[in-house]
Amino acid sequence: MNGDSKVSIGDLAMVAAAYGKTDADADWNQYKSADINHDKKVDIDDLAAVAAKILK
């Protein structure tokens, strides 16, 4: 997400900041890296996926 090859609380914060964005938003390119499951929206599924990676 932030490009450092590690999943951290900072990545979770980035996804949280992008929460609710979709590919219909004009600034989608700025936020699409937060779309972890690539379904063209940033939602609870993306937050949960990052949180699960942090716990591993």
CA distance 33 to 49: 13
**Does 20 reside within a domain?**
yes
**Whole-model pTM?**
0.88
pLDDT at 25: 98
* Four-CA torsion 17, 48, 51, 21, nearest 10 degrees: -20
41 forms beta bridges with 22
Among candidate residues 7, 6, 31, 9, the one with its CA nearest the CA of residue 20:
31
- 49 in a structural domain: yes
pLDDT at 17 over 70: yes
Euclidean distance between CA atoms 27 and 25, whole angstroms: 5
For 12-28, what is the mean pLDDT?
97
> Taking 70 as the threshold, does the pLDDT of residue 2 lie above it?
no
Tell me the two tokens of residue 45: 């599924």
Residue 45 included in any domain: yes
* Structural domain range at position 30: 9-55
**Domains in the chain, number:** 1
* 28 in a structural domain: yes
